[in-house]
Structure 1
Protein backbone atom coordinates (compact mmCIF):
# COMPACT_ATOMS: atom_id res chain seq x y z
CA UNK A 1 0.00 0.00 0.00
CA UNK A 2 1.55 3.22 -1.16
CA UNK A 3 0.19 6.75 -1.44
CA UNK A 4 1.32 9.91 -3.18
CA UNK A 5 2.04 13.41 -2.00
CA UNK A 6 -0.06 16.18 -3.50
CA UNK A 7 3.05 18.30 -4.02
CA UNK A 8 6.65 17.95 -5.16
CA UNK A 9 9.01 18.32 -2.17
CA UNK A 10 11.72 19.51 -4.54
CA UNK A 11 9.58 22.57 -5.31
CA UNK A 12 9.28 23.67 -1.66
CA UNK A 13 11.70 25.62 0.51
CA UNK A 14 12.05 24.99 4.25
CA UNK A 15 14.91 27.25 5.23
CA UNK A 16 18.25 25.86 6.38
CA UNK A 17 16.75 22.37 6.70
CA UNK A 18 15.32 22.30 3.16
CA UNK A 19 17.41 19.45 1.74
CA UNK A 20 16.82 17.16 4.72
CA UNK A 21 13.07 17.83 4.87
CA UNK A 22 12.74 17.18 1.15
CA UNK A 23 14.55 13.88 1.69
CA UNK A 24 12.33 12.92 4.64
CA UNK A 25 9.14 13.64 2.71
CA UNK A 26 10.34 11.83 -0.41
CA UNK A 27 11.42 8.74 1.55
CA UNK A 28 8.16 8.77 3.51
CA UNK A 29 6.03 8.87 0.36
CA UNK A 30 8.01 5.97 -1.14
CA UNK A 31 7.23 3.53 1.70
CA UNK A 32 5.13 0.56 0.63
CA UNK A 33 3.20 -0.23 3.82
CA UNK A 34 2.31 -3.63 5.25
CA UNK A 35 3.96 -5.75 2.59
CA UNK A 36 6.68 -8.39 3.11
CA UNK A 37 10.28 -7.16 2.98
CA UNK A 38 11.70 -7.30 -0.53
CA UNK A 39 15.40 -7.27 0.33
CA UNK A 40 16.89 -10.53 1.67
CA UNK A 41 19.06 -8.44 3.99
CA UNK A 42 16.17 -6.38 5.35
CA UNK A 43 16.02 -8.16 8.71
CA UNK A 44 19.65 -7.38 9.54
CA UNK A 45 19.21 -3.84 8.23
CA UNK A 46 16.15 -3.24 10.42
CA UNK A 47 17.98 -4.46 13.54
CA UNK A 48 20.92 -2.19 12.73
CA UNK A 49 18.63 0.78 12.14
CA UNK A 50 16.93 0.27 15.50
CA UNK A 51 20.29 0.13 17.28
CA UNK A 52 21.28 3.29 15.42
CA UNK A 53 18.03 4.97 16.47
CA UNK A 54 18.61 3.99 20.10
CA UNK A 55 22.23 5.18 20.10
CA UNK A 56 21.30 8.56 18.63
CA UNK A 57 18.44 8.95 21.10
CA UNK A 58 20.58 7.87 24.06
CA UNK A 59 23.04 10.66 23.25
CA UNK A 60 20.28 13.07 24.28
CA UNK A 61 18.30 11.15 26.94
CA UNK A 62 20.46 8.40 28.48
CA UNK A 63 18.04 8.08 31.39
CA UNK A 64 15.32 6.83 29.02
CA UNK A 65 17.16 5.03 26.22
CA UNK A 66 19.18 1.97 27.32
CA UNK A 67 22.84 1.27 26.69
CA UNK A 68 21.83 -1.96 24.95
CA UNK A 69 18.67 -2.56 22.93
CA UNK A 70 17.52 -6.14 22.37
CA UNK A 71 15.75 -6.68 19.04
CA UNK A 72 13.68 -9.75 18.20
CA UNK A 73 12.35 -10.51 14.75
CA UNK A 74 8.81 -11.80 14.26
CA UNK A 75 6.86 -12.66 11.13
CA UNK A 76 3.23 -13.39 10.46
CA UNK A 77 0.00 -11.99 9.12
CA UNK A 78 -2.60 -9.55 10.38
CA UNK A 79 -3.57 -11.74 13.32
CA UNK A 80 0.00 -11.69 14.65
CA UNK A 81 0.30 -7.95 13.95
CA UNK A 82 -2.93 -7.24 15.83
CA UNK A 83 -1.80 -9.44 18.73
CA UNK A 84 1.36 -7.34 19.11
CA UNK A 85 -0.75 -4.19 18.92
CA UNK A 86 -3.00 -5.51 21.70
CA UNK A 87 0.00 -6.48 23.81
CA UNK A 88 1.64 -3.06 23.74
CA UNK A 89 -1.70 -1.29 24.24
CA UNK A 90 -2.27 -3.22 27.47
CA UNK A 91 1.08 -2.18 28.92
CA UNK A 92 0.52 0.32 31.71
CA UNK A 93 4.10 1.06 32.73
CA UNK A 94 5.61 1.63 29.31
CA UNK A 95 4.44 3.39 26.15
CA UNK A 96 7.31 3.78 23.70
CA UNK A 97 5.78 6.69 21.84
CA UNK A 98 4.88 8.76 24.89
CA UNK A 99 7.38 7.43 27.44
CA UNK A 100 10.38 7.81 25.15
CA UNK A 101 9.92 9.32 21.69
CA UNK A 102 7.78 12.30 22.65
CA UNK A 103 10.05 13.30 25.57
CA UNK A 104 13.04 12.92 23.22
CA UNK A 105 11.57 15.28 20.65
CA UNK A 106 10.45 17.80 23.29
CA UNK A 107 13.84 17.71 25.04
CA UNK A 108 15.69 18.34 21.79
CA UNK A 109 13.45 21.21 20.66
CA UNK A 110 13.72 22.86 24.08
CA UNK A 111 17.50 22.45 24.11
CA UNK A 112 17.72 24.11 20.69
CA UNK A 113 15.30 26.87 21.68
CA UNK A 114 12.84 25.93 18.94
CA UNK A 115 9.07 26.18 19.18
CA UNK A 116 6.33 25.94 16.60
CA UNK A 117 5.78 29.66 17.04
CA UNK A 118 9.03 30.14 15.12
CA UNK A 119 7.20 28.85 12.05
CA UNK A 120 4.30 31.32 12.32
CA UNK A 121 5.67 33.68 9.71
CA UNK A 122 4.35 32.64 6.33
CA UNK A 123 1.67 30.33 7.74
CA UNK A 124 -1.82 30.78 6.36
CA UNK A 125 -4.52 31.59 8.92
CA UNK A 126 -7.36 29.09 8.80
CA UNK A 127 -9.64 31.37 10.80
CA UNK A 128 -9.23 34.04 8.14
CA UNK A 129 -10.54 31.60 5.56
CA UNK A 130 -7.18 30.84 3.98
CA UNK A 131 -6.32 27.35 2.76
CA UNK A 132 -2.89 25.77 3.27
CA UNK A 133 -0.71 25.42 0.22
CA UNK A 134 0.40 21.92 -0.78
CA UNK A 135 3.59 21.18 1.12
CA UNK A 136 3.05 23.71 3.92
CA UNK A 137 4.35 22.19 7.16
CA UNK A 138 2.29 24.44 9.44
CA UNK A 139 -0.89 26.49 9.53
CA UNK A 140 -2.25 29.05 11.98
CA UNK A 141 -5.55 29.38 13.79
CA UNK A 142 -5.17 33.02 14.78
CA UNK A 143 -2.08 32.99 17.04
CA UNK A 144 -1.90 29.20 17.43
CA UNK A 145 0.49 27.35 15.12
CA UNK A 146 -0.51 23.81 14.12
CA UNK A 147 0.96 21.07 11.99
CA UNK A 148 -0.58 20.92 8.54
CA UNK A 149 -1.81 17.54 7.34
CA UNK A 150 1.01 15.98 5.39
CA UNK A 151 0.32 13.08 3.06
CA UNK A 152 0.53 10.77 1.40
CA UNK A 153 -3.09 9.76 1.73
CA UNK A 154 -3.38 6.02 2.21
CA UNK A 155 -6.68 4.29 1.44
CA UNK A 156 -6.47 1.45 3.95
CA UNK A 157 -10.03 0.24 3.32
CA UNK A 158 -9.40 -0.18 -0.39
CA UNK A 159 -5.91 -1.65 -0.09
CA UNK A 160 -6.02 -3.92 2.94
CA UNK A 161 -8.14 -6.88 4.05
CA UNK A 162 -10.91 -6.01 6.49
CA UNK A 163 -9.06 -7.53 9.45
CA UNK A 164 -6.09 -5.28 8.74
CA UNK A 165 -7.90 -1.94 8.51
CA UNK A 166 -8.22 -1.08 12.19
CA UNK A 167 -4.72 -2.19 13.34
CA UNK A 168 -3.17 -0.51 10.29
CA UNK A 169 -4.89 2.78 11.06
CA UNK A 170 -3.72 2.53 14.66
CA UNK A 171 -0.12 1.95 13.62
CA UNK A 172 -0.11 4.61 10.91
CA UNK A 173 -1.38 7.16 13.43
CA UNK A 174 1.74 6.65 15.50
CA UNK A 175 4.27 6.47 12.69
CA UNK A 176 2.89 9.67 11.20
CA UNK A 177 3.97 11.34 14.45
CA UNK A 178 7.45 9.87 13.93
CA UNK A 179 7.61 11.54 10.52
CA UNK A 180 6.56 14.91 11.93
CA UNK A 181 9.08 14.64 14.77
CA UNK A 182 11.77 13.74 12.25
CA UNK A 183 11.00 16.99 10.44
CA UNK A 184 10.78 18.92 13.71
CA UNK A 185 14.24 17.68 14.65
CA UNK A 186 15.70 19.17 11.48
CA UNK A 187 13.89 22.47 11.97
CA UNK A 188 15.21 22.69 15.53
CA UNK A 189 18.72 21.88 14.30
CA UNK A 190 18.43 24.40 11.49
CA UNK A 191 20.45 22.00 9.38
CA UNK A 192 20.11 19.69 6.39
CA UNK A 193 22.39 17.07 8.04
CA UNK A 194 20.36 13.99 9.06
CA UNK A 195 23.31 12.20 10.64
CA UNK A 196 22.26 12.74 14.27
CA UNK A 197 18.48 12.61 13.84
CA UNK A 198 17.19 9.57 15.81
CA UNK A 199 13.84 9.55 14.01
CA UNK A 200 15.36 9.07 10.57
CA UNK A 201 16.47 5.45 11.23
CA UNK A 202 12.89 4.73 12.34
CA UNK A 203 11.51 5.87 8.99
CA UNK A 204 14.12 3.75 7.23
CA UNK A 205 13.11 0.74 9.34
CA UNK A 206 9.50 1.11 8.17
CA UNK A 207 10.76 1.43 4.60
CA UNK A 208 12.68 -1.85 5.01
CA UNK A 209 9.39 -3.61 5.78
CA UNK A 210 9.79 -4.00 9.55
CA UNK A 211 7.44 -2.55 12.15
CA UNK A 212 8.82 -1.98 15.67
CA UNK A 213 6.79 -2.85 18.76
CA UNK A 214 8.40 -1.85 22.06
CA UNK A 215 7.74 -4.40 24.81
CA UNK A 216 9.72 -2.51 27.42
CA UNK A 217 12.54 0.00 27.71
CA UNK A 218 15.16 -2.35 26.27
CA UNK A 219 13.23 -4.91 24.19
CA UNK A 220 11.94 -4.31 20.67
CA UNK A 221 10.05 -6.72 18.43
CA UNK A 222 10.59 -6.05 14.72
CA UNK A 223 7.56 -7.44 12.91
CA UNK A 224 7.44 -8.25 9.20
CA UNK A 225 4.63 -9.68 7.11
CA UNK A 226 4.99 -13.16 5.63
CA UNK A 227 5.11 -13.61 1.90
Structure 2
Protein backbone atom coordinates (compact mmCIF):
# COMPACT_ATOMS: atom_id res chain seq x y z
CA UNK A 1 0.00 0.00 0.00
CA UNK A 2 1.18 3.52 -0.85
CA UNK A 3 0.34 6.21 1.62
CA UNK A 4 -1.69 6.98 3.52
CA UNK A 5 -2.72 10.10 1.62
CA UNK A 6 -5.92 12.09 1.54
CA UNK A 7 -7.05 11.85 -2.07
CA UNK A 8 -9.97 14.29 -1.77
CA UNK A 9 -8.52 16.61 -4.42
CA UNK A 10 -10.83 16.82 -7.47
CA UNK A 11 -8.25 18.93 -9.29
CA UNK A 12 -5.88 15.96 -9.21
CA UNK A 13 -8.42 13.84 -11.07
CA UNK A 14 -9.06 16.67 -13.53
CA UNK A 15 -5.35 17.06 -14.27
CA UNK A 16 -5.00 13.30 -14.80
CA UNK A 17 -7.74 13.32 -17.44
CA UNK A 18 -6.40 16.43 -19.17
CA UNK A 19 -2.83 15.14 -19.13
CA UNK A 20 -3.86 11.81 -20.67
CA UNK A 21 -5.82 13.58 -23.41
CA UNK A 22 -2.89 15.89 -24.17
CA UNK A 23 -0.40 13.01 -24.29
CA UNK A 24 -2.53 11.16 -26.83
CA UNK A 25 -3.66 14.08 -28.96
CA UNK A 26 -0.55 16.25 -29.01
CA UNK A 27 2.19 13.95 -27.79
CA UNK A 28 4.64 13.81 -24.93
CA UNK A 29 7.82 11.76 -24.83
CA UNK A 30 9.55 11.45 -21.43
CA UNK A 31 12.62 10.03 -23.18
CA UNK A 32 13.21 13.00 -25.48
CA UNK A 33 15.31 14.67 -22.79
CA UNK A 34 17.89 11.87 -23.01
CA UNK A 35 18.38 11.44 -19.30
CA UNK A 36 20.11 8.03 -19.00
CA UNK A 37 18.30 7.16 -15.76
CA UNK A 38 15.01 7.20 -17.68
CA UNK A 39 16.14 4.56 -20.15
CA UNK A 40 17.36 1.95 -17.67
CA UNK A 41 14.74 2.12 -14.96
CA UNK A 42 15.41 -0.41 -12.26
CA UNK A 43 14.63 0.36 -8.62
CA UNK A 44 18.36 0.68 -7.97
CA UNK A 45 19.17 3.01 -10.88
CA UNK A 46 16.18 5.23 -10.09
CA UNK A 47 17.20 5.36 -6.43
CA UNK A 48 20.78 6.33 -7.31
CA UNK A 49 19.66 8.96 -9.81
CA UNK A 50 17.32 10.62 -7.31
CA UNK A 51 20.04 10.81 -4.66
CA UNK A 52 22.47 12.30 -7.19
CA UNK A 53 19.88 14.81 -8.39
CA UNK A 54 19.51 16.36 -4.95
CA UNK A 55 20.57 20.02 -5.21
CA UNK A 56 22.25 19.18 -8.52
CA UNK A 57 21.23 19.86 -12.12
CA UNK A 58 20.24 17.05 -14.45
CA UNK A 59 23.03 17.98 -16.88
CA UNK A 60 25.62 17.56 -14.13
CA UNK A 61 24.26 14.17 -13.11
CA UNK A 62 24.06 13.05 -16.73
CA UNK A 63 27.82 13.52 -17.03
CA UNK A 64 28.60 10.95 -14.31
CA UNK A 65 25.56 8.68 -14.06
CA UNK A 66 26.55 5.93 -16.51
CA UNK A 67 30.09 5.75 -15.15
CA UNK A 68 28.71 5.43 -11.64
CA UNK A 69 26.30 2.61 -12.51
CA UNK A 70 29.02 0.78 -14.45
CA UNK A 71 31.40 0.99 -11.48
CA UNK A 72 28.73 0.23 -8.83
CA UNK A 73 26.05 -1.87 -10.61
CA UNK A 74 24.29 -3.12 -7.47
CA UNK A 75 23.81 -2.11 -3.82
CA UNK A 76 26.18 -4.63 -2.26
CA UNK A 77 29.07 -3.60 -4.51
CA UNK A 78 28.37 0.01 -3.61
CA UNK A 79 28.21 -0.83 0.10
CA UNK A 80 31.68 -2.42 -0.01
CA UNK A 81 33.25 0.49 -1.88
CA UNK A 82 35.43 3.16 -0.35
CA UNK A 83 34.54 6.82 -0.11
CA UNK A 84 37.43 7.71 -2.39
CA UNK A 85 36.18 5.35 -5.11
CA UNK A 86 32.84 7.16 -5.11
CA UNK A 87 34.40 10.60 -4.88
CA UNK A 88 36.58 9.86 -7.91
CA UNK A 89 33.40 9.70 -10.02
CA UNK A 90 31.16 12.12 -8.15
CA UNK A 91 33.66 14.93 -7.60
CA UNK A 92 32.14 17.07 -10.41
CA UNK A 93 28.83 17.13 -8.51
CA UNK A 94 30.27 18.39 -5.24
CA UNK A 95 28.34 17.78 -2.00
CA UNK A 96 30.65 15.09 -0.66
CA UNK A 97 28.11 14.17 2.02
CA UNK A 98 26.00 12.38 -0.59
CA UNK A 99 28.78 9.76 -0.73
CA UNK A 100 28.10 8.82 2.88
CA UNK A 101 24.38 8.75 2.14
CA UNK A 102 24.83 6.42 -0.83
CA UNK A 103 27.04 4.00 1.11
CA UNK A 104 24.72 4.04 4.12
CA UNK A 105 21.62 3.31 2.03
CA UNK A 106 23.43 0.61 0.05
CA UNK A 107 24.57 -1.04 3.28
CA UNK A 108 20.99 -1.21 4.57
CA UNK A 109 19.79 -2.65 1.26
CA UNK A 110 22.53 -5.27 1.35
CA UNK A 111 21.98 -6.24 4.99
CA UNK A 112 18.18 -6.08 5.28
CA UNK A 113 16.87 -6.53 1.73
CA UNK A 114 19.36 -9.04 0.25
CA UNK A 115 20.87 -6.41 -2.03
CA UNK A 116 17.60 -5.39 -3.67
CA UNK A 117 15.64 -2.15 -3.62
CA UNK A 118 12.14 -3.06 -2.43
CA UNK A 119 9.06 -2.05 -4.38
CA UNK A 120 7.24 -1.30 -1.15
CA UNK A 121 6.35 2.09 0.32
CA UNK A 122 6.83 1.27 4.00
CA UNK A 123 10.01 -0.70 3.37
CA UNK A 124 11.57 2.18 1.44
CA UNK A 125 10.66 4.74 4.09
CA UNK A 126 12.23 2.51 6.75
CA UNK A 127 15.64 3.14 5.17
CA UNK A 128 17.44 6.21 6.58
CA UNK A 129 17.94 8.76 3.83
CA UNK A 130 14.88 7.77 1.79
CA UNK A 131 11.91 10.11 2.12
CA UNK A 132 8.49 10.21 0.45
CA UNK A 133 9.69 11.80 -2.80
CA UNK A 134 12.43 9.25 -3.47
CA UNK A 135 10.12 6.41 -2.41
CA UNK A 136 7.46 7.67 -4.81
CA UNK A 137 9.98 8.03 -7.62
CA UNK A 138 11.27 4.47 -7.20
CA UNK A 139 7.78 2.99 -6.98
CA UNK A 140 6.32 4.89 -9.94
CA UNK A 141 9.29 5.11 -12.32
CA UNK A 142 10.80 1.65 -11.75
CA UNK A 143 8.07 -0.50 -10.18
CA UNK A 144 5.13 1.05 -12.11
CA UNK A 145 3.06 1.43 -8.95
CA UNK A 146 0.66 4.33 -8.46
CA UNK A 147 2.79 6.29 -6.02
CA UNK A 148 2.70 10.09 -5.87
CA UNK A 149 5.67 12.42 -6.07
CA UNK A 150 5.95 16.02 -4.88
CA UNK A 151 9.14 18.03 -5.24
CA UNK A 152 9.45 21.81 -5.12
CA UNK A 153 8.39 22.20 -8.76
CA UNK A 154 5.35 19.93 -8.52
CA UNK A 155 4.33 21.63 -5.26
CA UNK A 156 4.50 24.97 -7.07
CA UNK A 157 2.31 23.60 -9.86
CA UNK A 158 -0.38 22.33 -7.46
CA UNK A 159 -0.39 25.59 -5.48
CA UNK A 160 -0.95 27.54 -8.68
CA UNK A 161 -3.39 25.15 -10.33
CA UNK A 162 -5.65 24.57 -7.34
CA UNK A 163 -5.30 27.84 -5.39
CA UNK A 164 -5.78 25.68 -2.29
CA UNK A 165 -4.43 27.24 0.92
CA UNK A 166 -1.56 25.13 2.18
CA UNK A 167 -0.19 24.60 5.67
CA UNK A 168 3.54 24.59 4.99
CA UNK A 169 4.28 27.83 3.13
CA UNK A 170 8.01 27.57 3.82
CA UNK A 171 8.24 23.98 2.52
CA UNK A 172 5.26 23.33 0.23
CA UNK A 173 6.76 20.07 -1.09
CA UNK A 174 6.05 18.61 2.36
CA UNK A 175 2.46 19.78 2.56
CA UNK A 176 -0.03 16.89 2.96
CA UNK A 177 -2.68 18.68 0.90
CA UNK A 178 -0.38 18.79 -2.14
CA UNK A 179 0.63 15.16 -1.63
CA UNK A 180 -3.09 14.37 -1.64
CA UNK A 181 -3.44 16.09 -5.02
CA UNK A 182 -0.54 14.12 -6.48
CA UNK A 183 -2.02 10.91 -5.07
CA UNK A 184 -5.44 11.69 -6.58
CA UNK A 185 -3.70 12.51 -9.87
CA UNK A 186 -1.64 9.34 -10.20
CA UNK A 187 -4.50 7.17 -8.95
CA UNK A 188 -6.75 8.53 -11.72
CA UNK A 189 -4.13 8.68 -14.48
CA UNK A 190 -5.20 6.11 -17.12
CA UNK A 191 -1.70 5.28 -18.36
CA UNK A 192 1.44 3.86 -16.76
CA UNK A 193 2.38 5.57 -13.49
CA UNK A 194 5.85 6.36 -14.79
CA UNK A 195 4.39 8.27 -17.74
CA UNK A 196 2.01 10.20 -15.51
CA UNK A 197 4.65 11.29 -13.03
CA UNK A 198 7.22 12.12 -15.71
CA UNK A 199 4.62 14.36 -17.36
CA UNK A 200 3.95 16.21 -14.11
CA UNK A 201 7.67 16.48 -13.34
CA UNK A 202 8.55 17.86 -16.78
CA UNK A 203 5.56 20.20 -16.88
CA UNK A 204 6.60 21.82 -13.61
CA UNK A 205 10.25 21.99 -14.70
CA UNK A 206 9.71 23.34 -18.22
CA UNK A 207 6.43 25.29 -18.15
CA UNK A 208 5.40 26.06 -14.56
CA UNK A 209 8.75 27.58 -13.62
CA UNK A 210 9.27 29.69 -10.53
CA UNK A 211 9.56 33.05 -12.31
CA UNK A 212 7.53 34.00 -15.37
CA UNK A 213 5.85 30.63 -16.04
CA UNK A 214 5.08 29.83 -19.66
CA UNK A 215 1.31 29.66 -19.23
CA UNK A 216 0.71 30.22 -22.96
CA UNK A 217 2.52 26.95 -23.65
CA UNK A 218 0.97 24.93 -20.83
CA UNK A 219 -1.69 22.37 -21.85
CA UNK A 220 -3.43 22.86 -18.49
CA UNK A 221 -3.64 26.65 -18.56
CA UNK A 222 -7.36 26.84 -19.35
CA UNK A 223 -8.28 25.14 -16.09
CA UNK A 224 -5.44 26.57 -13.96
CA UNK A 225 -6.42 29.09 -11.28
CA UNK A 226 -3.10 30.94 -11.51
CA UNK A 227 -3.10 31.17 -15.33
CA UNK A 228 -6.55 32.76 -15.21
CA UNK A 229 -5.59 35.16 -12.42
CA UNK A 230 -1.79 35.38 -11.95
CA UNK A 231 -0.57 36.11 -8.42
CA UNK A 232 2.78 35.81 -6.66
CA UNK A 233 3.68 32.26 -5.51
Q: TM-score, normalised by structure 1?
A: 0.27
Structure with bigger RCO (C-alpha 8 Å, 6+ apart): 1
Structure 1 or 2: larger helix share? 2
